[in-house]
Structure 1
Amino acid sequence: MSIGERIRSERERLGMSQPEFAKFAGTTKQTLFSWETDKTYPNAGQMAALTKAGVDVMYVLTGVNLPLDYQRNIESMMKVTAEMDPDGSTSLTKKFYEGVGKMAPPPEPEPEPELKLSRKDRAFWDMYKELDEKDQREIYHDIQEKKRLAELERYYQENERKKNA
């Protein structure tokens, strides 16, 4: 997944429209579109501003969800870079992106024990893995909506039962 795709993924995870997200970065919707299509990239100041919106900047830059202490160190480096090169016009911002790209990822966590799935669940999971990210996200949201509807139905039935009692 590219930086642009990860920017879009973070925007969607936060439930923001392009104009809302662009506002946090101090830019325009057109510039954000350029980022999301990998035509250009945000400078360090814009990335620092996006952290305030809840963007996992390390994920955007590296594609890896780093531990919190790694994230804080990189955010500090980004803040200094943004102060020294606010518009990203010098090679400092480029060096920052190169440096982050060369960081060694954190050690992999111990694998969790494999779950025992029914044949039906295994077939669903195998099908799900083959889908692109957009379709996976739609299925995930559908499942969440169905869970929420079931909760609302239980709540409604409980209240009706209490009224009639």
Structure 2
Amino acid sequence: MRKWYTLIMEKSDRQQKLGRRLKEERERLGMTQAAMASAIGVGRLTGIHYELGDRTPTADVLMRLREVGVDVVYVLTGDRPNEQFDISAMEQAVELMLDLVIKLEAQPDKHVMTQALLHFYRSILSQHSKLGSAPIAASTVEVD
């Protein structure tokens, strides 16, 4: 049988992780603690306690967080199963790549094209960062 303090520590660890993810989401949205608290209808100190893991948001607060753009599934689980990509940004990147290929009038190297695509995609994402879409992490892309 587990000891009571082990159960308390596990709960505390889960709350702290939830708080860290909530802070990540707030920062991803470019909001201050005060702005986030105001947007979800809680006091700034309550919002701070959520981020520290001292308090756990209620279901009602989680719904309001979702309404302001927080990925609540990520906050609760640490997973992003509904990862979304900004298709418009990808289409713009592909268009730029096609223009580059036409100007080169040759068969460019796969590595060069991949690096160029990542460069264009990142630059377009930085222009559209307020959309809240999840970019492809450059570290996950491998080139032969």
User: What TM-score range do you get, normalising by the shorter chain?
Assistant: 0.3 to 0.5
Q: TM-score of the superposition, structure 1-length normalised?
A: 0.41
Higher-RCO chain (CA-CA 8 Å, sequence separation at least 6): 2
Q: TM-score of the superposition, structure 2-length normalised?
A: 0.46
